[in-house]
Amino acid sequence: MPFLGQDWRSPGWRWVKTEDGWKRCEPFSPALEDGNNQLNDISHTVILTGDGEDEEIYSTEDCEFAAKKRKKDHFRDNTDSQCFYREKWIYVHKESTKERHGYCTLGEAFNRLDFSSAIQDIRRFNYVVKLLQLIAKSQLTSLSGVAQKNYFNILDKIVQKVMEDQYNPRLIKDLLQDLSSTLCILIRGVGKSELVGNVNVWICRLETILLWQQQLKNLQMNKQVNNGLTLSDLPLHMLNNILYRFSDGWDIITLGQVTPTLYMLSEDRQLWKKLCQYHFAEKQFCRHLILSEEGHIDWKLMYFTLQKYYPIKEQYGDTLHFCRHCSILFWKDTGHPCTASDPNTCLMPVSPQHFIDLFKF
């Protein structure tokens, strides 16, 4: 197994034994070696003078540091695009070992699991949005600088996708509302070092969020012209069957606003009773029982009341999975290099909240 940490045992470095101990020899490219030779030709100290400025003396260690920085800049200049990972999985480890240095972070997970591409998949879109919403509520202060950039880059792509495809704008509005509320509270307490980064950067981000909210507020749904079969042309039993497959009460209400027929079907007591029984337990019904004027249980009002006190079940087309054998987090359809004899027995679906819990230290 190769060493992943850049310590003294890792491959890539050559070491030379000297009187003062072991010293590392860094392999440079030909272009950089020319620059190093120029620096090595200089004696133990270098004196640089400016226009009337005080002289600055640099030791050999400074020259070596400059050479190393030159090598890094050379690598960055020759990189055509930003670094990406072909494998969309990440090994979850919470402590340093001899083989692995450091631990996993949310920012690293954003890169390795490729959330930027995941939002283009309609099966994963709601999952990623819910994950960003949970981070906005509780984990925003724990994000590093890189994780912040990744977070807002993904959020920008989500907003642009909604503006172009007009897909599920209500979900994004809730996310932006939670994020703006959290930022308003944290910016006031920035003197307590609650946020990583300059306060002006966060103020600019807050202004961007407010701009996104205004754009979504002014979003106009395009009326699609189609001379073929429409939703209203379906039989009543098929329309009713569609409504019974919804797991979100707001989606039922929104669909009921399309036509009078759909409104009538969306007000069915049995529909809302099934929805309440799916999301909540019988004991929860007894604690918040609501009766109508006729003396019947108002299941529709019960659903929205119970939603304030208890979490509802989450449904996603595709979720991340965690392998208990390999401790690897991955998208199920992309797979991972599992060494178990029967990998399917080791897999466990990961909810958005469970994902955040994996990276809490």
> Across residues 79-95, what is the average pLDDT?
60
DSSP letter string, 214-255: HHHHT---------S--GGGS-HHHHHHHHHT---HHHHHHH
CB 115 within 8 A of CB 85: no
Q: What is the CA radius of gyration of the chain?
A: 29
Most confident of 71-80, 95-104, 196-205: 196-205
Name the pLDDT band for 156 (thresholds 50, 70, 90): very high
Question: Parallel, antiparallel, or unpaired for β 56-59 and 89-91?
Answer: unpaired
Give the whole-number percent of the chain exceeding pLDDT 70. 70
Please say if the pLDDT value at position 1 is more than 50.
no
Does the pTM surpass 0.95? The reply is no
Long-range contacts of 60-64 (CB under 8 A, 24+ apart): 63/39, 64/39
Angle at 157 between CA 155 and CA 162, to 5 degrees: 95
Question: Parallel, antiparallel, or unpaired for β 45-48 and 56-59?
Answer: antiparallel
Match 């979490």 to its residue by tokens.
Answer: 311
Please report the pLDDT score of residue 208 as a whole number: 92
329 exposure class (CB count in 10 Å sphere: 0-12, 13-18, 19+): buried
